[in-house]
Structures are given as C-alpha cells and as structure tokens.
Structure 1
C-alpha cells in the first residue's frame, strides 16, 4: 500500500490524465461538457454563406432536395417543399451522441429566441433507433425544441450520416449553411446571420 502511495505521488499528473481520458471514454455527459467548452469559443462554428451566381460549384447555394419529417407530438407531417418563404434551421441529432448533447443547450437558446418568429422554422430531427430514447433525453434536460423524426428518405446533400449535422435553408429553399460536428448556435454573430437571412427577399 505504501508503495502505491509513493507511485501515485510521483506520477500524479499521469494518474489525473488517465482518469480524465477514462471519463471522456465512458461518460457521454463528460464528453458533451468538454466539447461544449470548446464550442463556446466559436472556433468550430461555420458561417452562413452569401448567395452565389455559380451555385453549382459546391453543396451550399443549391436548391434542397425535398424530404419530410413527422412531429411526434402532433402527428403532423412537415415537408421542406412547403417551407419556401421561411428560414429553416435543420439539425440532425441522437441522444447517444456526445457532440449533439454538447451543442443542444445552444440550440435550445436559439429556439427560445426565435420560436415566435413566423419566418423561422426549426426542424430538429431525431435519429435514435428508438425515438423514445430521444424523447426521454429532451425531457430529462428540460429542452422544448420540436421532436421530429424522418418520414421520408433524407437526401445525401442534406445528411450524409455524420452526427450532428446542421443545415440552414434560406427563403428560396437553398442551402446556405451545411455544418457537420458540434457548434454554438447561441452567439450574437449567428443571430445576426439569421436576421440577415430573414431580411432577404
């Protein structure tokens, strides 16, 4: 026992480091907290792109292929084809995904700020194999974002399998932001970009 104490004293930093990585490996909430600290710096954020004339050169600024989701609470189906004239924020997430958990508080803040704005639509699409897990996660965290699940095939230009993925459509249904990975959507800069899309004709 005495030898163990001596070893720990000599290798304290190593013990702390191993403990930290073990926590990151086995605790989704710990991973989410760590990623949230990184995301809060803004270094992982993407920027909403300005419309371009040569839109065919990349995925942004191309008209979206339509898909549908179901609002679990109401049973209503929502099609992106019916959302022209609105700014659409789409986020694909799952309850088991630490980066999704990391960015969710910022999405909740963004939702609370714009939920009463009739020109902004939130499609927060859960991709858990069992949707009940996603519902339980939202309830546990007291998140009030819409709980939606896919009701049609999702086009690859919108979602290619990486979680989380966030897409923002302008009023013409054109992709103006396509971001894979964690980000902070509760910044003043992002709100300014959304307001810019709202003001576009």
Structure 2
C-alpha cells in the first residue's frame, strides 16, 4: 500500500515540474525564489580585487538599446562602469535584477558612475520582452554586435566593475545582492 502512495506522490511532483517547464513558468518561479533568497542578505558580492593583474577593460564594442540606438563602449571611458550580463531564460539573472535596480536608483545621480545591463539572448526581442513591463530601473541594451574579450564569460549572470582608469576592479560570475552599503561604498570609491 505504501508504494502506491509513493508512486502517486512522485507522479504529482513530476506533473508540477513538467507543467512549469512546458509553460515557461519555471524560470519565473525559480527567479522569484532566488530573489527572495538574495533579499535575506545571505549572498553578497565578494569585494576583492580580482586576480586580473594589469588587465585593462576592452572598450571596443557596441550594443543596441531596445529603442534601436547604438551604444559605444568608448562613451564610458573615464567613468566607473557597472556592467551586468544577463539573459531572459536565466533564473539567477531574474533574481538579482530587482536588487540591481535598487542599487541603480540610489546611485543614478553620481556623474562619475554608469550602469549598463546587457542582454545576451540570441534574439533581441526575447531580451526586450523580458524587460518590458517590469518596474525595474536601469540602463539596458542588447549584445546584438557580440561581446568583446573583456565581456566573454563562462556563465551568467556575470557582473564586472571597471574603474575610470579602465581597469577591471570587480568580476563575478553568478548572482548576488549588489544593493548593500558595502558595495555602494566600493562603487563610489572608484
């Protein structure tokens, strides 16, 4: 009798997972749960100078805004630049975006600091569709022209900070809650 209950339980769980997967709700729900986890403050960025000795950021490259305008990376030279690479299907990317939005809102008036969140979906419409209708506030673009060597990463989300001298001073693959006083102070001090 117990094995019938066990099979029924597994059947229900597999049905739920299949439903979430085939309806496309899985990344939404997983991203929401991960965002709640980030809100606890348990996952914070490790502010250490990465072992990228003498590595200069490559300012060659362009992105396309969702309004169709080109953004040249050269225009960020001389500023502290916060860059985040994300994709619409990435749960951890979804999880950290509300926190990045709050970080941006608190620092957006600093003239020496710039933010750029770059969607890397193969189709710009997927990235745009993901951002449309969200209450998040931050500058976004799409990697329509590809990524230069400084921005190529093994996983997403990937976040990096480039100081005004063009040096990569922060590099992290994986999600984090960047909206902390420690990270704000780190950005401002660059």
The two structures share one fold, judged by TM-score above 0.5: yes
Alignment of 1:134-145 (within 5 A): 134-145=127-138
The TM-score normalised by the length of structure 1 is: 0.75
- TM-superposition CA deviations, 1:75-129 (whole Å, max 9, x none): 13222x3323211000011111101000000111111112222111111111112
Alignment of 1:162-173 (within 5 A): 162-173=155-166
Matched residue SS, 2:132: helix
Match of 1:193 in 2: 186
The answer on whether the counterparts of 1:89 and 1:169 sit within 8 Å (CA) in structure 2 is yes
Match of 1:47 in 2: 46
* Alpha-carbon separation, structure 2, partners of 1:60 and 1:92: 22
Match of 1:33 in 2: 32
1:71 equivalent among 65, 72, 75: 65
Number of residue pairs matched? 183
Match of 2:98 in 1: 105
CA shift in 2, pair 1:60/1:184, >3 Å: farther
Match of 1:180 in 2: 173
The TM-score normalised by the length of structure 2 is: 0.79
* Alpha-carbon separation, structure 1, partners of 2:131 and 2:87: 11
Answering whether residue 83 of structure 2 is matched by residue 84 of structure 1, we say: no
* Alpha-carbon separation, structure 1, partners of 2:53 and 2:146: 20
CA shift in 2, pair 1:114/1:164, >3 Å: same
Instruction: Give 1 or 2 for the bigger CA radius of gyration.
Output: 1
- Structure 2 residue runs without a partner (length 5+): none
Runs of 4+ in 1 over 4 A off after TM superposition: none
- Structure 1 residue runs without a partner (length 5+): none
The answer on whether the counterparts of 1:67 and 1:153 sit within 8 Å (CA) in structure 2 is no
Q: Alpha-carbon deviation of 1:61?
A: 5.5
1:94 equivalent among 66, 87, 94: 87
